[in-house]
């Protein structure tokens, strides 16, 4: 077990280090978290399994967590409530832009959220995030240093890694006996005619434009008018063949056979392969691939909102999620990649084998992956996407 596992981590570390798009120097965080009203039983005591001396008198009774769908093992929330007496109320989103719209409107009531890389960048610049108090996050020591201090939050002043993954193509090998190795399988109209209305693209302005741009030979961050025109044209030509733009239940539809191929996040594909707890059963014929033209690597991160009334409790929850046993259970359940090096050591061999089959990047695949960035020009994707969708 350790052999394959160690090789996986080594490959991952080498590749991620090479790809790391770091920027800026760490900024000292004074730790802006404030105490919330006393609502839970008092007495500070060490909590099981981590180093944090939790002051229970500072815990709120509830915590509001805004998370991607199918992105946490529900039994972990029950464990947190059992251990700390805090009920975590979860609301779901399926696109960074939807999450941002809700948070920007103000008074969302959320304490903790899991934005992707480029969305963290947007959020801290807009003053939406609280600075983290690292003294309340001792389990940060378990996080792979190569996944810290990234370009979107230098010094991790506002965010800590939750899960990461890659975006490519998931397909049912029964219908593609020769395999799939190109985005042409989703864009070439002579190919997609065969599975008209049996495939989906992510309902995501950056991801779907990113796939089209990669197929055309561009970077996912390309914003020249000519490249964007070509990508838009490609997406519009594909649209009549699509079953849907779908970021919410690609996992279920691949597993059930309703889709035979889909633009997918790696973890959703692994859920389609393995099933998801008691939610649905998996399909052993689901395969995941990063096309030869390349794909996306991304990371979702835990952040606390600047107006969170429960920042102390949010830190305790974040620290809990970074406990190796908890992070391992979560990664095994949701199928995404844990940034927690101690958790990876606890994963079962079955999961490591699937990583090695393509549900995680190896050294060769890492060379074909790109991180998404945001800048003045990338806001163009919003109006182009609205036009493609015809909204
Ligand atoms: N169902 C959970 C999906 C999490 C995907 N987040 C990644 C977005 C990358 N652009």
What's the pLDDT at 247?
A: 98
What mean pLDDT, rounded, does the chain reach? 90
Q: Quick one: what percent of the chain has pLDDT higher than 70?
A: 87
Question: In terms of Cα–Cα distance, which of 214, 221, 212, 179 is closest to 294?
Answer: 214
What's the pLDDT at 7?
A: 44
54 Cα: distance to centroid of ligand 1 (angstroms): 31
Task: Please give the full DSSP string across 120-149, using - where no structure is assigned.
Answer: HHHHHHTT-BPPP-GGG-GGGGGB-GGGSS
**Which residues surround ligand 1 with Cβ inside 6 Å?**
68-71, 116, 206-207, 265, 268, 298, 300
Residue with CA at minimum distance from ligand 1 atom 9? 298
Backbone angles phi, psi at 45, to 5 degrees: -155, 155
What's the pLDDT at 13?
A: 41
Least trusted range by pLDDT, from 4-13, 118-127, 144-153, 312-321: 4-13
* Atom of ligand 1 minimally distant from the CA of 68: 2
∠ CA 351-49-153, rounded to 5°: 70
Q: If phi over 0 gives left and psi between -120 and 50 gives alpha, with beta otherwise, what is residue 139?
A: alpha
Better-predicted residue by pLDDT, 78 or 33: 78
What's the pLDDT at 34?
A: 36
Chain segment 60-118, per-residue pLDDT in tens: 999 999 999 999 999 999 999 999 999 999 999 999 999 999 999 999 999 999 999 99
Question: In 126-224, which ranges are continuous DSSP H helix?
Answer: 184-187, 189-192, 205-215
With 90 as the cut, is the pLDDT of residue 37 above it?
no
With 80 as the cut, is the pLDDT of residue 1 above it?
no
CA distance 67 to 71: 7
Chain segment 184-208, per-residue pLDDT in tens: 999 999 999 999 999 999 999 999 9
Q: Which of 94, 120, 298, 338 to mutate to test the pocket of ligand 1 (most atoms within 8 A of CB)?
A: 298
Chain segment 341-383, per-residue pLDDT in tens: 999 999 999 999 999 999 999 999 999 999 999 999 999 999 9
Q: Which of 114, 116, 122 to mutate to test the pocket of ligand 1 (most atoms within 8 A of CB)?
A: 116
Q: Which of 115, 300, 330, 335 to mutate to test the pocket of ligand 1 (most atoms within 8 A of CB)?
A: 300
User: Where in the chain are the domains?
Assistant: 3-164+299-354, 165-297+368-390
68 Cα: distance to centroid of ligand 1 (angstroms): 7
CA distance 368 to 15: 10
96 Cα: distance to centroid of ligand 1 (angstroms): 8
Q: What is the DSSP letter of 340?
A: B
Classify residue 297 as exposed, middle or buried by CB count within 10 Å of its CB (0-12, 13-18, 19+). buried
CA distance 205 to 231: 12
3-164+299-354 and 165-297+368-390 have identical folds? yes
With 70 as the cut, is the pLDDT of residue 17 above it?
no
Least trusted range by pLDDT, from 33-47, 117-131, 218-232: 33-47
The bridge status of strand 62-68 relative to strand 53-55 is unpaired
Q: Which two tokens stand for residue 19?
A: 């790809």
Chain segment 253-300, per-residue pLDDT in tens: 999 999 999 999 999 999 999 999 999 999 999 999 999 999 999 999
Residue with CA at minimum distance from ligand 1 atom 3? 68
What's the pLDDT at 94?
A: 97
The pTM for the full model equals 0.89
Residue with CA at minimum distance from ligand 1 atom 8? 116
With 50 as the cut, is the pLDDT of residue 137 above it?
yes
Q: Which residues contact 327 (CB under 8 A, 6 or more apart)?
A: 142, 321, 338, 340, 342, 343
What's the pLDDT at 256?
A: 98
Question: In terms of Cα–Cα distance, which of 302, 298, 325 is closest to 88?
Answer: 302
* Atom of ligand 1 minimally distant from the CA of 204: 10
The bridge status of strand 295-304 relative to strand 112-113 is antiparallel
Beta bridge partners of 303: 113, 159
40 Cα: distance to centroid of ligand 1 (angstroms): 34
* Atom of ligand 1 minimally distant from the CA of 372: 10
Q: Which of 65, 98, 165 to mutate to test the pocket of ligand 1 (most atoms within 8 A of CB)?
A: 165
Q: Give the fold, CATH level 3, of 3-164+299-354.
A: D-Maltodextrin-Binding Protein; domain 2 (3.40.190)
With 80 as the cut, is the pLDDT of residue 311 above it?
yes
Question: In terms of Cα–Cα distance, which of 124, 266, 265 is closest to 204?
Answer: 265
Superfamily of domain 165-297+368-390: Periplasmic binding protein-like II (3.40.190.10)
pLDDT band at 391 (very low <50, low <70, confident <90, very high): confident
pLDDT band at 50 (very low <50, low <70, confident <90, very high): low
CB–CB of 349/169 below 8 Å? no
317 Cα: distance to centroid of ligand 1 (angstroms): 20
């Amino acid at each position: 077990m350790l052999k394959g596992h160690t090789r996986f981590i080594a490959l991952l570390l080498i590749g991620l280090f090479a790809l790391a798009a770091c920027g800026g120097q760490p900024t000292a965080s004074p730790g802006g978290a404030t105490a919330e009203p006393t609502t839970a039983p008092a007495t500070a005591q060490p909590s099981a399994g981590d180093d944090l001396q939790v002051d229970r008198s500072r815990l709120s009774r509830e915590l509001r967590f805004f998370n991607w769908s199918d992105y946490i093992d529900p039994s972990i929330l029950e464990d947190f409530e059992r251990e700390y007496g805090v009920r975590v109320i979860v609301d779901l989103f399926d696109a960074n832009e939807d999450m941002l719209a809700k948070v920007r409107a103000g008074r969302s009531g959320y304490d903790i959220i899991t934005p992707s890389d480029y969305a963290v960048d947007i959020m801290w610049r807009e003053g939406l995030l609280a600075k983290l108090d690292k003294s309340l996050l001792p389990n940060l020591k378990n996080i792979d240093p190569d996944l810290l201090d990234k370009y979107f939050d230098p010094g991790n002043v506002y965010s800590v890694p939750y899960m990461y993954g890659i975006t490519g193509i998931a397909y049912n090998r029964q219908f593609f006996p020769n395999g799939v190795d190109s985005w042409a399988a989703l864009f070439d109209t002579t190919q997609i005619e065969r599975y008209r209305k049996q495939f989906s693209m992510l309902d995501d302005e950056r991801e779907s434009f990113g796939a089209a741009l990669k197929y055309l030979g561009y970077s996912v961050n390309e914003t020249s008018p000519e490249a964007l025109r070509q990508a838009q044209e490609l997406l519009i030509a594909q649209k009549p063949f699509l079953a849907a733009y779908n970021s919410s239940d690609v996992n279920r539809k691949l597993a059930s056979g309703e889709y035979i191929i889909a633009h997918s996040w790696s973890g959703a594909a692994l859920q389609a392969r393995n099933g998801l707890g008691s939610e649905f059963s998996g399909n052993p014929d689901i395969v995941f691939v990063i096309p030869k033209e390349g794909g996306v690597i991304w990371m979702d991160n835990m952040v606390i909102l600047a107006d969170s009334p429960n920042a102390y409790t949010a830190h305790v929850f974040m620290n809990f999620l970074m406990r190796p046993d908890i992070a391992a259970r979560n990664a095994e359940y949701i199928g995404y990649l844990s940034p927690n090096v101690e958790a990876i050591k606890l994963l079962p061999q079955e999961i490591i084998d699937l990583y090695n089959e393509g549900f995680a990047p190896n050294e060769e695949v890492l060379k074909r992956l790109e991180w998404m960035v945001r800048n003045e020009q990338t806001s163009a994707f919003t109006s182009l996407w609205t036009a493609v969708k015809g909204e």
